[in-house]
Amino acid sequence: MVATVLSISAFLYTGTIVAGQDKACTPTEPDMLGPFYKPDAPVRSSVGKGYVLGGVVKSSAGCAPIKGARIEFWLAGTDGKYDDEHRATIFSGGTGSYRFESNIPEPYFGRPPHIHVKVSAKGFRALTTQHYPETGKTSAYFDLVLVPSQ
């Protein structure tokens, strides 16, 4: 009974199916790059105040954390426009964790508020996706699950 409860708890917490020690993580859904991406964003963990995005970069094979993954962010500023002040690059820590702080993204041209994210790590396919903050929230946990390159 306890093992069943623990397995169900693990499924609800991680969003993965647990069978013994084997785990599988669902890869993060890709999303459009958009027209405002510029490579080589400055290395910094903050481009504003008011919204914190954090999570873990991990492998879809076994959910192992990926340390040293390059994570690029870009978003519209409080005026709804993209600029170099709202671009950043960070690297995941030893446990795959990351933390990025920005302003709460503004909607523009009919698009919902969002933060663009591009992740790359040696031995994995690059991922481009977007995070869509929930209205009224000032933080979110967003794991970035990469697929190993074959």
**pLDDT tens by residue, 94-131:** 999 999 999 999 888 889 999 999 999 999 999 999 99
Higher pLDDT residue, 52 or 150?
Answer: 52
Residue 118, in any domain of the structure: yes
Q: Give the domain CATH number at 106.
A: 2.60.130.10
- DSSP letters, 94-140, are TTSEEEEEEPPPPPBTTBPP-EEEEEE-TTB--EEEEE-PPTT-SEE
Confidence check: pLDDT of 2 > 60: no
How many domains, in total, are found in the chain? Answer: 1
Calpha distance 103→139 (Å, rounded): 11
Q: Which pLDDT score, from 0 to 100, does residue 24 have? A: 66
E strand or H helix at 13: helix 2-14
Residue 97 one-letter amino acid: S
Domain that holds residue 116: 22-146
Alpha-carbon 45 to chain mean position? 13
Task: List, for residues 39-96, the tens digit of each pLDDT value.
Answer: 999 999 999 999 999 999 999 999 999 999 999 999 999 998 999 999 999 999 999 9
Q: Which two tokens stand for residue 96?
A: 């795959």
Residue 97, in any domain of the structure: yes
Residue 17, in any domain of the structure: no
